[in-house]
Amino acid sequence: MDTPVKSAESLDLFVNATQQFERALSWAEGLKEGVINFLINPKRMIHVRFPVTMDDGSTRTFHGFRVLHSDVRGPGKGGIRYHPDVTEAEVSALAAFMTWKTAVVDLPFGGAKGGVVCNPKQLSRRELRHITRRFVAELGDNIGPHTDVPAPDVYTNAQTMAWIYDTYDRMHAGGNNLAVVTGKPIEIGGSLGRDQATSRGAWNATEQLLRRGAVPGLHTLEGTRVAVQGYGNVGSVAAKVFHAAGSIIVAVSDSRGGIASEDGFDPRAVLDHKRETGSVIGFPGSQMISNTELLASDCDILIPAALECQVTEANARDIKAKLIVEAANGPLTAVADQVLLQKGVIVLPDILANAGGVVVSYFEWVQNLQNQKWNLDKVERLLNEKMCRAVDETVDRFDGLRDRYENGLNTSSGGPTLRDAALVNAISRIGEVIVQRDIWP
């Protein structure tokens, strides 16, 4: 294998998203330069500042963003994140990932993302409710069932989505506004299966990838050793579904650190412990490890399910897993990708691995618009079908790119990755819509 051309590493997610996109373009064909420029940068970015009265009577100003990266294939779709480190660049990158993700799984959506700079761990429920309501009021008609549809992300949940719906509904009385946001509680139009969808989708995709023989030396989940970074909505459910499929969960972590066990954990018992104590740390019988040690765990499958840029040039060489399933968005830098390519570690990329969340968000949106309620079996069956089809299309594209590489195309790339393949599929789907809609005069 040739040595890939290496770009400088950045921990800025937008830079990484752009590096990934540019790498994929070297495999794509037939896109005009003007179209490429349009696809790299977001279509619309909204900044809002708004005051909130805190519990102690003081007033604080909060800063929020909503970025619509693309609406070429349909309304914007993407989560809202509450975190002290939220930046415009991060939200823009996450919005771009949503554009590629909705195209990879062929949903009639574009890509968007939002965030508010705040620390939910230091805010009361009343303060969070006021922040959410003011944020939605400030966004006004820049969100809506047919324009831009938010969903949960880091440190937001079904309750946050209920506040978003209620605020928007009050501002647009008299219509069916349920489809303005997904990830809502079941009682107000949420879909069965949405809470587990991202992790179930990652599991469905992993099983299909193994069935396709795309991971040398790994053909079934039965008996595989799995490490999970992050034990929130996505990580804790991923541990549960992989465990139920026969995997041994040998290490898990959260923001306070990690735990390991040679014999494996019962993920439900670890979650009970986290609910009681606030962390996975101290789980009876476990060995305490750092997050760095977790990433380098002796395992077959590593599932990053926390934040971005966790696997970098500095620690990628220490990864022992054969397969990385990117349940989080952007957990690997573009340079780490190249190191892992050279090591022969397969990466199931975020825009495919964690697409289950937006797939069931789409099911929720359809149910809301049609006043329907689907049963859990139907949701899980259709989710599995969508994920398996997207994996098949990605592996087929990968095989095609590898043939072209072996015939001398793009030799400086070091060879194609599944991320390249998924991005090429996304870019060509978006390109086809641009041509069919004849968008530019």
What residues are labeled active site?
Answer: 113
Q: Exposure of 400 by Cβ count < 10 A (0-12 exposed, 13-18 middle, 19+ buried)?
A: middle
The secondary structure element, H or E, covering residue 277 is: helix 267-277
Binding positions for ligand NAD, 316-345, rule CB under 6 A:
327-329
User: How far is Cα 441 from Cα 138, in angstroms, rounded to an integer?
Assistant: 33
Which pairing describes strands 248-254 and 44-53: parallel, antiparallel, or unpaired?
Answer: unpaired
Q: Which stretch binds ligand NAD (CB under 6 A): 84-92, 138-146, 301-309, 426-434?
A: 301-309
Stretch that binds ligand NAD, among 66-74, 149-157, 165-173, 240-248 (CB under 6 A): 149-157
Residue whose CB is less far from ligand NAD, 185 or 232: 232
Which of residues 189 and 230 has its CB atom nearest to ligand NAD in the complex? 230
Write the interaction track for ligand NAD spanning residues 347-366; mark x where CB under 6 A is met and - where it is not: -------x--x---------
By beta carbon distance, the residue nearest ligand NAD is 232
Closer by beta carbon to ligand NAD, 231 or else 405: 231
230, 267, 349, 414: residue in contact with ligand NAD (rule CB under 6 A): 230
Exposed/middle/buried for residue 26 (C-beta within 10 Å: 0-12, 13-18, 19+) = middle
Question: Which of helix, strand or coil describes residue 37?
Answer: helix
Nearest Cα to 299, choosing from 236, 239, 381, 387?
239
Binder among 182, 198, 206, 247 for ligand NAD (CB under 6 A): 198
In this structure, which long-range contacts are made by residues 129-132, counting pairs with CB atoms below 8 Å and at least 24 apart in sequence?
129/163, 130/52, 130/53, 131/52, 131/62, 131/82, 132/160, 132/163, 132/164, 132/167
Count other C-beta atoms under 10 Å from residue 277's C-beta. Answer: 12
Instruction: Let me know the angle formed at the C-alpha of 200 by 197 and 202, rounded to the nearest 5 degrees.
Output: 105
Range 245-284, binding ligand NAD (CB under 6 A): 253-255
Total residues binding ligand NAD (CB under 6 A) = 24
Closest contact distance (angstroms) between CB of 231 and ligand NAD is 4
**232 forms part of the interface with ligand NAD (CB under 6 A):** yes
* Site membership for ligand NAD, residue 154 (CB under 6 A): yes
Nearer Cβ to ligand NAD, position 257 or 415? 257
- Any contact of residue 62 with ligand NAD (CB under 6 A)? no
Q: Which two tokens stand for residue 43?
A: 């279509």
The span from the CA of 157 to the CA of 164, in Å, is: 11
Q: Does 414 bind ligand NAD (CB under 6 A)?
A: no
User: Who contacts 160 (Cβ-Cβ below 8 Å, separation ≥6)?
Assistant: 80, 82, 128, 132, 152
Question: Closest distance between ligand NAD and the C-beta of residue 223, in Å?
Answer: 26
Give 299 or 306: the residue with its C-beta nearer to ligand NAD: 306
Q: Minimum distance from CB of 152 to ligand NAD (Å)?
A: 5
Query: Where on the chain is the footprint of ligand NAD (CB under 6 A)?
Result: 152-155, 198, 229-235, 253-255, 291, 305-307, 327-329, 354, 357
